[in-house]
Chains A and B, each alone.
Chain A
Amino acid sequence: MELAAVIEEIDGYIRKEFLEGDASVELTPSSPLLEWGILNSMNTTRLAAFVSERYDVTVSPKAMRTDNFRTIENVAHMVLELRDRPEA
């Protein structure tokens, strides 16, 4: 699966679960999810559970760091990295 496809799915998940399904919201792959209040620690955990289920990756304690959840792009990069190098 390519980066663009992962980004699109994560974008869809975030809109549906955290923004009441609002498709018109101006959200881009580089929008700051934490600074905009979209991800709190609870939502971060839900997003981590979603990606680990959807892409069959293990989000280790080490991977649960702020940088990996700053933007949709960052989350997608983390997913691809975890899939290629599960110990990352």
Chain B
Amino acid sequence: MNLASLVRDSARRAGGDLAVAGPDRSVTYDELDRAADTLAHLLRDKGVRGTDRVVIWLDKSVVAVAAMQGALRLSAVYVPVDGSGPSRRTARIARGCSATVIVTDSRRAAELRESGEELPGLLVLDGLPGTDGRPPLPVEQPGPDDLAYILYTSGSTGEPKGVCISQRNALAFVEWAAAEIGATSRDRFANHAPFGFDLSVLDLYVAFRAGASVHLVPSEMAYAPQQLCAFLRTERITVWYSVPSVLILMIRDGDLCEGARPPWLRVLLFAGEPFAVDYLALLHRYLEGVRLLNLYGPTETNVCTFHEVTAEDVAGGEPVPIGRACSGDEVWALTPGGRRAAVGEEGELVVDGPTVMAGYWGRGAQEGPYRTGDVVRVRADGVFEYRGRLDHMVKVRGHRVELGEIEACLSRHPAVGEVAVLVDGSGMAARIVAVVVPAGPPPGLLALKRHCAERLPRYMIPDSVLTVAELPRTRNGKTDRQALRDTLLQPSGSRT
């Protein structure tokens, strides 16, 4: 079994069943199977062979899914890039992983050509291509250690990091999730996360494995609460997976916890950041009978622990734990002294097992267990509680952001002397604040936004700029972020 055969097998079992409903069109399993074969041909015509990288830069759509499947059928490695991101970042990622081709549409292809960046071949698709009568290519059978896809995440040094996921890595998670959810062909999965974000792996592949349908939420709708609640009902979603920020928005500004309960919904999963317990309690009460699952894991390990929310969890007023190991992984906490944390102690969460990535692209293989940088506490019942980060990685509405990457980008602007980036507030109210020591006349917010928008994904663009004469330093010369926070930002919680 591999990520390509999941679709092919479901097409053989029930080819007429709905596979993907996208903003562009809907396809049955038979249609997706044929589209994947066509895409495999087109990619092969562009020179793609097994293990080559195929960057996919498209809106969330059936075409994008078919392109991913087409690459997998050649045993190639797909690299999904944020459809709303800048062309320069796409080009840089393609160069970084020596991609053979970028699959995109004509508008984005024009942007890529205008960017002046060095480009690989382009496969331009403005819709699902029709079959050209060629018989399907012989099936390539990837080995378990062959890479399936690469997900790029924010890197602290200023360059995004490519997390390489093998067939084995992905399938270990998909198998676990399918069993835990009890997915069947009658399920209707929502896909909220962008394809470049690992939450989408559950939506797509657990659905394909079960022969269920997956319903794509267009990216423009991603934070529109009323539209999302309407989507949940009209698409008759049975399994929903998103970051907590989005669910809170749907509770607060939509009608998720009012009026008619979404009658088909049976499992609701969330991951990426802690869930404010007041809202979780509301959800638990309102959606009685719907399973609520907290999934945890950095992109590097996919999901390695999970916890099913209980009435006791939400009654306590404490954040719900991240739970116990899953997906066949072993998970423990390492104390600063280097031993396994005992009950009640804190330590860095370490993961070993089948979901741990093959490595970062171009930086050698991952050897042994993966250290997450997340600090956890071990509860008496063996369950882990999330406590915080060891470094400057933050979550902005569930997106993983290295402040250093934004700082590196801003520091390349000619008007910026020194810069430190902070996040003010949390959840939906989180704002990225750039604190700038100007190199001359102070740069305006729009100038800095435009500079960043050409290089960073949209969720990493600063919301505001503060100009200061100098940055406070710690004794060893590093920027004193805490002092900056204390002097510049309002006390946390005062913003709404």
Interface on A for B, CB 8 Å cutoff?
A: 18-20, 22, 24-27, 34-42, 44-45, 48-49, 59-61, 64-66, 69
Contact = CB atoms under 8 A, between A and B. Distances in A.
A24 to B, nearest CB: 8
B82 to A, nearest CB: 11
B325 interface: no
Contacts of B397: 42
Given A48-B224, A64-B221, A41 B459 contact: yes
Given A61-B231, A65-B220, A25 B453 contact: no
B445 interface: yes
Nearest to B87: A35
A40 B461 contact: yes
18 contacts: A18-B463, A22-B446, A25-B444, A25-B446, A26-B446, A27-B446, A37-B449, A37-B453, A37-B461, A39-B458, A41-B219, A41-B220, A45-B223, A60-B227, A61-B227, A61-B230, A64-B227, A66-B84
B478 interface: no
Interface in B199-241: 218-225, 227, 230-231
A64 B445 contact: no
Size range of the interface on B? 20 to 34
B446 A35 contact: no
Given A64-B224, A65-B23, A36 B464 contact: no
B120 to A, nearest CB: 23
B449 A36 contact: yes
The listed residue with most A CB atoms (<10 A of its CB), out of B86, B227, B446, B453, is B446
Contacts of B220: 41, 44, 64-66, 69
Nearest to A48: B224
Interface in B438-463: 444-446, 449-450, 452-453, 458-459, 461, 463
Nearest to A35: B453
User: Looking at chain A's contact residues, is the secondary structure mostly helix, strand, loop, or mixed?
Assistant: loop
Interface of B: 23, 59, 84, 86, 218-225, 227, 230-231, 253, 397, 428, 444-446, 449-450, 452-453, 458-459, 461, 463-465
Contacts, number: 75
Given A20-B464, A35-B453, A37-B453, 7 more contacts: A25-B444, A26-B446, A37-B450, A37-B452, A37-B461, A41-B84, A45-B225
Shortest Cβ-Cβ A-B pairs, 6 listed: A37-B453, A37-B449, A37-B461, A40-B458, A45-B223, A61-B227
Contacts of A38: 446, 449
Contact of B446 (A36, A45, A59, A61): A36
Nearest to B466: A20
A12 B223 CA distance: 22
Contacts of A41: 84, 219-220, 222-223, 458-459
The listed residue with most B CB atoms (<10 A of its CB), out of A24, A41, A59, A60, is A41
Contacts of A61: 218, 221, 224, 227, 230-231
B391 to A, nearest CB: 24
Contacts of A18: 463
A44 B445 contact: no
B450 to A, nearest CB: 5
B401 to A, nearest CB: 12
B423 to A, nearest CB: 13
